Amino acid sequence: MEAASVASSCCFSAFDPHNTHIGSSDLGFSRNLPIVLTWRRPSHRLLLSCRRRGSLATPVLEDEKKKEDEAVAESGSPSKEGLPKVDRTGRFSSPRAGRELALSVIYAACLEGSDPVRLLEKRMNMRRESGYEFDKASLLEYNHMSFGGPPVTAETAEEADGLSQIDEKETAIEAEVLSAPPKLVYSKLILRFARKLLLAVADRWDDDVLVIEKVAPQNWKNSPAGKIIELCILHLAMSEIAVLGTRHPIVINEAVDLAKRFCDGAAPRIINGCLRSFVKDFQGGHSAQTVESEKEVAVNA
């Protein structure tokens, strides 16, 4: 792909990175995936592994699924100590893990020109490599609440070496967890939650493009290729509020935490402001629709 086409593309307007028309509904399904797709910020990464197997299907009644999904979405972040929530099988069971998974798939879908739901299903259904073993102990060491910050200074070479070793260990743990087959890492409930998030994102994509055009700062819109992960976070949060109905304070807090974890600079503050503007307009639109519906009912009565 030529650099010019990347710069002129608007990765938050369609999943096809070659599509330069903002708001296009053409969600391309072409091109083969690489074995591992890695996105890196200092000390943090999102990986999309092609070791996939299994299915998202679970033997739960629809009403029960709905109640469980609502409980998952509303349950908030992992503990402030940074330890992830795991279920009795030792798999991630916190909604933060589901949102991280969904974000990594949306990001990969933007780069690959793929539909995010199909991309997740491909990852889920890929067979494990022969001889592959996953160390579940890494799940307990993985820190969902590890945020970026200003550069760290060290007084001595020994202190610098110690900090470097800590960083290398955290990076290795993240690589182990985020490249593992999803069924070994996430509970069935969280996998279903991530899939619902991706369905919502795909459904709302073009509508949210128009919103982002209104609320995003001009420099983000001028160079969207450099703000893909930030724009993906906005899409993820807006879709969860609009489609899944998760309470907006929870979603905004989660989006800001994701930005602290995977973005640089002022992104957390900007994303917070964008989402608050979105919520204000979204709630205003719903209030107007409710008034109109009440008027129609009164006239018909």
Q: What is the pLDDT of residues 178-230, one digit of tens each?
A: 888 899 999 999 999 999 999 999 999 999 999 999 999 999 988 888 899 99
Residues 82-105, mean pLDDT to the nearest whole number: 86
Q: Which residue has the higher pLDDT, 242 or 71?
A: 242
Confidence of residue 13 (pLDDT cuts 50, 70, 90): very low
Among the residue ranges 176-185, 226-235, 237-246, 253-262, the one predicted with the least confidence is 176-185
Q: Residue 83 has which token pair?
A: 């330890």
- Is residue 150 scored above 50 in pLDDT? yes
Q: Residue 255 has which token pair?
A: 């989006």
- Is residue 99 scored above 90 in pLDDT? yes
Q: Which residue has the higher pLDDT, 141 or 119?
A: 119
Please tell me the predicted confidence (pLDDT) of residue 211: 94
Q: Residue 100 has which token pair?
A: 């991280």
Confidence of residue 174 (pLDDT cuts 50, 70, 90): confident
Measured at the CA of 186, the angle between CA 181 and CA 189, to 5 degrees, comes to 135
Q: What is the pLDDT of residues 19-77, one digit of tens each?
A: 333 333 333 323 333 323 333 333 333 443 333 333 333 333 445 555 555 655 666 55
| Entry pTM | 0.71
Q: What is the pLDDT of residues 257-281, one digit of tens each?
A: 999 999 988 999 999 999 999 999 9
- Is residue 85 scored above 60 in pLDDT? yes
Please tell me the predicted confidence (pLDDT) of residue 299: 56
Q: Which residue has the higher pLDDT, 288 or 225?
A: 225
Please tell me the predicted confidence (pLDDT) of residue 78: 56
Q: Residue 204 has which token pair?
A: 């709302």
The string of DSSP codes covering 162-221 is: HHHHHHHHHHHHHHHHHTS-HHHHB-HHHHHHHHHHHHHHHHHHHHHHHHHHHHS-HHHH
Q: For helices 62-74 and 95-112, what crossing angle results, to 10°?
A: 100
Please tell me the predicted confidence (pLDDT) of residue 40: 36
Mean model confidence pLDDT for the chain: 75
Q: Cα separation of 48 and 100, whole Å?
A: 11
Residues 159-163, mean pLDDT to the nearest whole number: 87
